[in-house]
A and B are shown apart, each in its own frame.
Chain A
């Protein structure tokens, strides 16, 4: 069982042509769950945490969804491997920074359960593109299967009991990873962020809490978990994502129309730079790749190339670059290796043309 397999295996987010969509990169649902009768991981003694971990992993690996799954114990993994899992959003930074947590990840990397993070169980389901219902249905099935084999902490008044009051109730955090270059270029993002947070949604950067929005990618998620049904939470998020997608398209079309050749020039320059640069920092790569994704969405590049851009966005992250190399690299080494990978992947890309979408 190695993180190299995670990197090598084809999965929806990095390889499968056709799963990718304009604007929404991925849909994610996570459920916080705890076992009845055990202290939460942050307060549990090591012996308890060990017992919780063993019980959860045993129950999870018996489920059909986790047949031949990857089981990673954080304490056994080198730093670089843990960083790769964080960059893939398969585990959180919190889980990776401790030694006592574990993660059970399905073969297809769609489902990942973190064990002994802030809660005993964090069930996560991710799909490429915008598939809120489909993602939720899998999470619901997993939740039922897990609930049937492990006694979960629940109260009629407060719902699923969690370590932190911000998760109690449904324990549900639903989110969409959205790519908003149009709204960013038009300077509307601040307004959008304000509107969303006033309506109970959080806007975060690419790697979640406390990260910057590299490459114009944002994560939009619900804040409230108590007093709303799962359905109401999903509908609320879904309504906003639909609006955002519309506004993003409006902003893109307006920019393309107003800027004309300058719009195409911006995208073409990014392709030129990515194709020839010998050193690329991760922020620079993300921002240029964002332009390429926009070009694929707008028909300036063939739509069939979008999955290559998505893969480069994920594989261009620092730990991924080093894991591919099989060694830790200094900053220049990473930038050089990243540039090589990008150059190779974009070698046969066609020229950027005028928009058709």
Chain B
């Protein structure tokens, strides 16, 4: 008979085995009864415990100089540490953004009081994108309006 599985937390014999599959990524964890009870076996909290255990193993490859957040933390939490993290983890996040957002370029508003140049560029991109969508939907009336808007914004950008 094979050796019994050990608890991921305390090395006792594991009697609770959990498998989580998120977007094809399989995570398996084993707990003894006592550790499973503290982690609340059967609910999502157990996996937080599991994540913590898993996060102990790899060494961080990227660290944000502003806030000390690491790629290991990101894998654990799915959230970033501070606005600068977006720059620091930018390349690593590119694939994820395509997966969750389908896009990687912002085309919406900019904060109040920022340079009109930035805002205009955003608006230009948005109008171009909406024009393409309108053409695809064969809504030529809207497309024509958007074409005029694109021309107007482009002209404004030229004068700045």
Contact = CB atoms under 8 A, between A and B. Distances in A.
B113 A148 contact: yes
Interface string A195-227: 000000000000000000000000000001111
B39 interface: no
Interface stretch (A22-30, A72-80, A126-134, A154-162): A154-162
A140 B109 CA distance: 9
B101 A224 contact: yes
B63 to A, nearest CB: 13
B83 A161 contact: yes
Contacts of B106: 155-160, 168-170, 226-227
A232 B127 CA distance: 10
B82 interface: yes
Contacts of A144: 112
A189 interface: no
Interface in B65-81: 67, 69, 73, 77-81
A170 B109 contact: yes
B28 to A, nearest CB: 24
Interface string B6-35: 000000000000000000000000000000
A86 interface: no
B108 interface: yes
A43 B79 contact: yes
Interface stretch (A33-41, A240-248, A278-286): A33-41
- Contact-residue size bin, chain A (C-beta under 8 Å from the other chain): 35 or more
Given A42-B77, A153-B83, A168 B97 contact: yes
Given A40-B79, A43-B69, A165-B96, A224 B102 contact: yes
A161 B118 CA distance: 16
A157 B96 CA distance: 15
Contacts of B130: 229, 231-232
Contact of B82 (A39, A165, A225): A39
Interface in A12-67: 34, 36-40, 42-43
A178 to B, nearest CB: 25
B107 A165 contact: no
B79 A143 contact: no
Given A153-B83, A155-B86, A232-B129, A164 B111 contact: no
B79 A226 contact: no
B100 interface: yes
Contacts of A256: none
A154 B114 contact: yes
B47 to A, nearest CB: 15
Contact of A164 (B79, B87, B103, B109): B79
Contacts of B79: 40, 42-43, 118, 163-164
Contacts of B93: 165
Given A118-B79, A147-B112, A231-B126, A161 B86 contact: yes
Instruction: List the 6 closest A-B pairs by CB distance, nearest first.
Output: A227-B103, A159-B106, A153-B83, A229-B126, A147-B111, A147-B112
15 contacts: A39-B69, A43-B81, A143-B111, A147-B112, A148-B113, A152-B111, A153-B83, A155-B87, A164-B78, A165-B100, A169-B106, A170-B108, A227-B101, A231-B126, A231-B130
